[in-house]
Structure 1
Amino acid sequence: MLASLLDAPPRPAFRGPTFIRLLARLTDDTLPQGGPAPAERLSQWIDWTRAVVLSKVLDAKASEAEQDAQVVDRDDAAVCAKARATLLASITEAPELVIPQPQAAVASNDDDADAAPAVAIDFAPFRQRYLALQRSMLITTGRLRGDLRDRLAQRSADMARLAEVDAVMEGALSPREHALLGAVPALLETHFERLRAAAGVSATDPSAAWLDGFRRDMQGVLIAELDVRFQPVEGLLAALRTH
């Protein structure tokens, strides 16, 4: 098996965002180097009803910002950075992703006899953790995005229009985003099973090298997904900084 892997031609490097490149590395499928232009891709994702709503927002006359609205003085960048740091810590400190320290072997035969039988390591806990972290990212970034839109709407008519456009785009693209990101755990499960099979060893050792490698891979994918989910937040922050 090792010889066949060494003789196989190298896969072409995939160029793209970190999140996509990581997924491409974990799958056996060769991803295409090219693809539709962003505008064409968006036309495939946005149905005609959403397109009509977006068109109305873009064509509408900019409304004046609420004069009586009280803008709370706060450091929006710091608020977002703190939220991101909390999510990052929940990824790096997830119990399933912490690489365990090897324990000394038990010398006593009596202890060996009383020891609980080894349990095969399954992907289920990793799936549950990934889904839980995805929910946390979704809730946090959604709340931040809504707060930042409210802040923009209080600045000026142009910023209020930008906030409306972002709200429409979030509603239009969220179903597609959920579907695509929802497929990631299945890709990781395939990678998990492939690593375990390639190791050719017992699947009951929580400190096995293949499992440590999987933990690092899953953590890297989660961090890259966090970056993807924060891109709209960073865009709204950039708009606030310019006004």
Structure 2
Amino acid sequence: MSQAPQRSALSGPALVRLLARLGEADVAESTQSLADRLSQWLGWTDAIALSSALSGGPPAVAGGARPFGRAEEDECTRVRRALVSSIAGDALFASSRRRGTVPTPRNAAMNAPTNAPMNAPRAPARASALLDVSPQADYAVFRQRYLAFQQSMETAIGTLRGRLRALLATQAPALARLAVVDAVMERALAERERSLLGAVPGLLGGHFERLRNAERRRVAELEAVEAAEAAEAAEAAEAQDAARSAVIQAARATASPGHAAAPAPDAWLDVFRKDMQSVLLAELDVRFQPVEGLLAALRAC
């Protein structure tokens, strides 16, 4: 028996591994070194600025230096926690259960008019009525929110990074040089970073569609079962065959025991909400790496 090929384990940041999994893509490891990759991303003016920062004389240290202290550590922690809290607590990511009850065949039957004839055949609730009931089922809403989070992260982390560079420039010549190098790298890579991270909402859009299409297939299968059961019930009623009806009922209970435990209509959307949160938090980790590097340098001085 042939087996499906196993995807190779991908190393690297959690953001890359998560997007590869959600995109169902088999991403190969890059064979290029970091220096080779950077050479493709840096323009010639950026390369000249970086070379000057690395090979030129050490920058003069600004006077009136104040030592690195707890205040900077606390500010970095506060900014990161605030961004994490805004992602974790956003109302758009609340599960369907927290948003309220979604109609199901059971409570739809409970809400049926009470003046219906006692012996009238009960019309089955169509499974298609349970799809796309959430007002957030349009991906455009999620896309706009993701872009807003990206803007918030870029602004807050950029401000923090600038403050840490300013403090580095007052400590020692070597740290002042590091501050210059970091400023050059931020300017040189800003456009490339926006381009790469700007593609994330599109990748999430594909994941959203795959989840929704899988739910539609599930709903179509439920509708096929409902139609078959309705046809069997009508045939049994016309024949007035009690024994046959009993057999059909027994077969129905055996053939479709999963009706009562069917997934909630918005379960696919809850999966997407959780995945989008995970991607945002992984992107935050990537964006915070330069800040962590500057903090490490300040701690070492």
TM range (shorter): 0.7 to 0.9
Q: Which residue of 1 aligns with 2:284?
A: 226
Deviation, 1:35, is 2.6
- Structure 1, gaps ≥5 residues long: 1-6, 111-116
Q: Which residue of 2 aligns with 1:170?
A: 186
**1:18 aligned to 7, 11, 14, which one?**
14
List aligned pairs for 1:136-175, cutoff 5 A: 136-175=152-191
Q: Which residue of 2 aligns with 1:4?
A: none
Q: Match of 2:85, as an amino acid?
A: A
Deviation, 1:73, is 5.8
Report the Cα distance in structure 2 between the residues aligned to 1:70 and 1:78, rounded to whole angstroms.
16
**1:58 aligned to 54, 58, 81, which one?**
54
Report the Cα distance in structure 2 between the residues aligned to 1:103 and 1:148, rounded to whole angstroms.
48
Q: Match of 1:241, as an amino acid?
A: R
Q: Match of 1:103, as an amino acid?
A: T
Report the Cα distance in structure 1 between the residues aligned to 2:264 and 2:276, rounded to whole angstroms.
16
**2:45 aligned to 41, 45, 49, which one?**
49
Identity of aligned residues (%): 48
Q: Match of 1:178, as an amino acid?
A: R
Q: Which residue of 2 aligns with 1:212?
A: 270
Q: Match of 2:23, as an amino acid?
A: T
Q: Which residue of 1 aligns with 2:84?
A: 88
Q: Which residue of 1 aligns with 2:101?
A: 103
Report the Cα distance in structure 2 between the residues aligned to 1:206 and 1:177, rounded to whole angstroms.
38
When the two structures are superposed, what TM-score results if normalisation uses the length of structure 2?
0.71
**1:122 aligned to 114, 138, 142, which one?**
138
Larger radius of gyration: 2
Tell me if the contact between 2:61 and 2:170 (Cα under 8 Å) persists in the aligned partners.
yes
Deviation, 1:207, is 5.8
Tell me if the contact between 1:99 and 1:207 (Cα under 8 Å) persists in the aligned partners.
no
Q: Which residue of 2 aligns with 1:181?
A: 197
- Structure 2, gaps ≥5 residues long: 114-131, 220-262
Q: Match of 1:54, as an amino acid?
A: L
Deviation, 1:100, is 2.7
Count of aligned pairs? 231
* CA RMSD between the two structures: 2.5
Deviation, 1:17, is 1.5
Q: Match of 1:62, as an amino acid?
A: P
User: Could you report, residue by residue, the CA deviation over 1:23-60 in whole angstroms, capped at 9, with x for unpaired residues?
Assistant: 10011332112331101000000011110011111121
Q: Match of 2:183, as an amino acid?
A: A
Tell me if the contact between 1:92 and 1:98 (Cα under 8 Å) persists in the aligned partners.
no
Secondary structure, aligned partner of 2:149:
helix
